[in-house]
Amino acid sequence: MQPGAEIDGFTIGECVHRGGMATLWSVTHPGIKAPLLMKVPLTSEGEDPAAIVSFEMEQMIMPRLTGPHVPACFGTGDFERQAYVVMERIPGQTLYKRIGDLPMPYDEARGIAGRIASALASLHRQNVIHHDIKPSSIMFRPHGGAVLIDFGLSHHSQLPDLLQEEFRLPYGTAPYMAPERLLGVRDDPRSDLFSLGVLLYFFTTGVRPFGETESLRGMRRRLWRDPHPPRKLRRDYPPWLQEIVLRCLEIEPAARYPTAAQLAFDLAHPELVKLTAPSQRQTRDSFGTVWRRRFNRGAMQPHAKSNVAAQLASSPIVVVALDIAEGPDAPNEAIRVTAERVLSTSPSARLACLNVLKLNRVSIDRTLDEQGQNKHVDRLVALQHWARPFGLDESRLTVHVLEAIDPAAAILEFAAVNHVDHIIMGARQSSMMRSLLGSVSGKVASEAPCTVTVVRPSRSTAQTDGSDGTPDHAGDTSAITPPGLF
């Protein structure tokens, strides 16, 4: 590799980085205008053989990745001539440059972690687990979106896992490695959430939760020992932030957030985080708890083989958009039946009940209704009352009242920002005004980035069968994909 050399049409420029497993070179190509980097593995005598295997993984995975949260891939070369990966060069530096600024203001750290969680949600939807989330693996685009780099340790559920097949010891960055990784588990996306929890703990306290140890023996302590609660290190640590961090750092993956999208949701809405006992904890786990974890042979054993897609499918974010105004054609009861069906098939689903307080375009809006009650508060209470029959745990239910001139646009923006998987909403009976201007449900169904189920009220009054009071026909539902149905 020398400046000026040409490989497969790529002209080699300067060496911009030399790491422990690969070097990075600036390159150009006459048919590509974007700034490019060529990553070349170290293959000389004495180099770690894991460097070659991890590079093979990166060559397989990177061309399959899409979206703004990963560098675009422009080419790969095999080992017969010259192994390389050519990728988009992301401007700027990695998050590692912020280490000197720690501890970071809580709200700034929350924003950074939220953007990383969004990037992980996109990555996991592409069947990839990163397995090396740390400050030096994260960059940001000029508009602020997080970009994940370095996929040599990653796992793709639809490709051979060469690291799993050829090595017995876990590879990764010790301070950020999830406990199950020490047991050989590489197919659980919640491992990335543990690593993000370590990063968030570090960035808000200035201390790594499990220290700097690199020995396997030292790392195994996280199989039975929790870190010091952040509130012990910083008295002003927000309870909602400790709730999020400690949930990410749970030893058992099942006790963490089920998906990166749900973690991003809590980071975006800290005021809605449901506080439990860990939010106030100021001491580590008791000796008895540590003893049980360490010597309970049945605990923390490798589980049955997991599947990234199945894990995400069982933990969707479901939004129910309600018109809480009373009226004979309001389909809210039919929406409830539909939502119950969706939640019954998704044991870890999160439900967000949504209402839009429509604002006037020209006149001044009043915050109080005719009875002197605050409209916003009244609607929050109404949403909570509507959702109470579901009996959901508080951590799985939130209510939101949005204020907007265009209700459809507000719902669409909420769905996009919060990684919503499914929207359930009603469609009122047709009217001349809706025929001329279009309906809210029609616009949402045609433009939403997720599945939309539109519920119409039944044409006939719902009847009960006399046995359990359940309506035989609560309403008509339809899952919407093509536009222009309403």
Q: Which of 66-70, 196-200, 211-215, 349-353 has the lowest mean pLDDT?
A: 211-215
**Residue 344 CB partners (closer than 8 Å, separation 6+):** none
Grade residue 45 by pLDDT with cuts at 50, 70 and 90. low
Task: Pick from 247-251, 346-350, 462-466, 467-471 the range whose average pLDDT is largest.
Answer: 247-251
Q: Is the pLDDT of residue 303 over 60?
A: no
Distance CA 298, CA 140 (A): 42
What is the reported pLDDT for 176?
Answer: 95
Distance CA 94, CA 110 (A): 17
What is the reported pLDDT for 291?
Answer: 80
Percent of the chain having pLDDT more than 70?
84
What is the reported pLDDT for 49?
Answer: 74
Q: What is the 3-state secondary structure (H, E, C) of 126-177?
A: CCEECCCCCHHHEEECCCCCEEECCCCCCEECCCCCHHHHHCCCCCCCHHHC
At how many degrees (to 10) do helices 260-268 and 190-205 cross?
30
What is the reported pLDDT for 144?
Answer: 92
Grade residue 20 by pLDDT with cuts at 50, 70 and 90. confident
466 — alpha (psi -120 to 50), left (phi > 0) or beta?
Answer: left
Distance CA 175, CA 103 (A): 17
In DSSP notation, 282-299 reads: -S---HHHHHHHHH-TTT
Maximum distance among all Cα pairs of the chain, rounded to whole angstroms = 84
Grade residue 289 by pLDDT with cuts at 50, 70 and 90. confident
Q: Is the pLDDT of residue 204 over 90?
A: yes
Distance CA 71, CA 119 (A): 12
Grade residue 482 by pLDDT with cuts at 50, 70 and 90. very low
What is the reported pLDDT for 298?
Answer: 54
CATH superfamily name and code, 6-88: Phosphorylase Kinase; domain 1 (3.30.200.20)
Q: If you search the block for the tokens 């069906």, which residue do you land on?
A: 341
Q: Spelled out in words, what is the top-level CATH class assigned to the domain 95-311?
A: mainly alpha
* 68-106 pLDDT per residue, tens: 999 999 999 988 888 999 999 999 999 999 999 999 999
Answer yes or no: are the C-beta atoms of 37 and 27 closer than 8 Å. yes
The SS3 of residue 237 is coil
Q: Is the pLDDT of residue 12 over 90?
A: yes
Q: Is the pLDDT of residue 265 over 90?
A: yes
Grade residue 461 by pLDDT with cuts at 50, 70 and 90. very low
What is the reported pLDDT for 437?
Answer: 45
| Residue whose C-alpha is closest to residue 160's, from 58, 83, 64, 57 | 57
Percent of the chain having pLDDT more than 90?
60
Grade residue 485 by pLDDT with cuts at 50, 70 and 90. very low
What is the reported pLDDT for 296?
Answer: 73
The CA-to-CA distance between both ends of the chain, in Å, stands at 60
Q: What dotted CATH number matches 316-480?
A: 3.40.50.620
Answer yes or no: are the C-beta atoms of 17 and 40 closer than 8 Å. no
Domain ranges of the chain: 6-88, 95-311, 316-480
Which strand (E) or helix (H) includes residue 377?
A: helix 375-387
- Between 223 and 305, where is the model more confident? 223
At how many degrees (to 10) do helices 106-125 and 190-205 cross?
170
Q: Is the pLDDT of residue 427 over 50?
A: yes
Q: Is the pLDDT of residue 469 over 50?
A: no
Grade residue 253 by pLDDT with cuts at 50, 70 and 90. very high
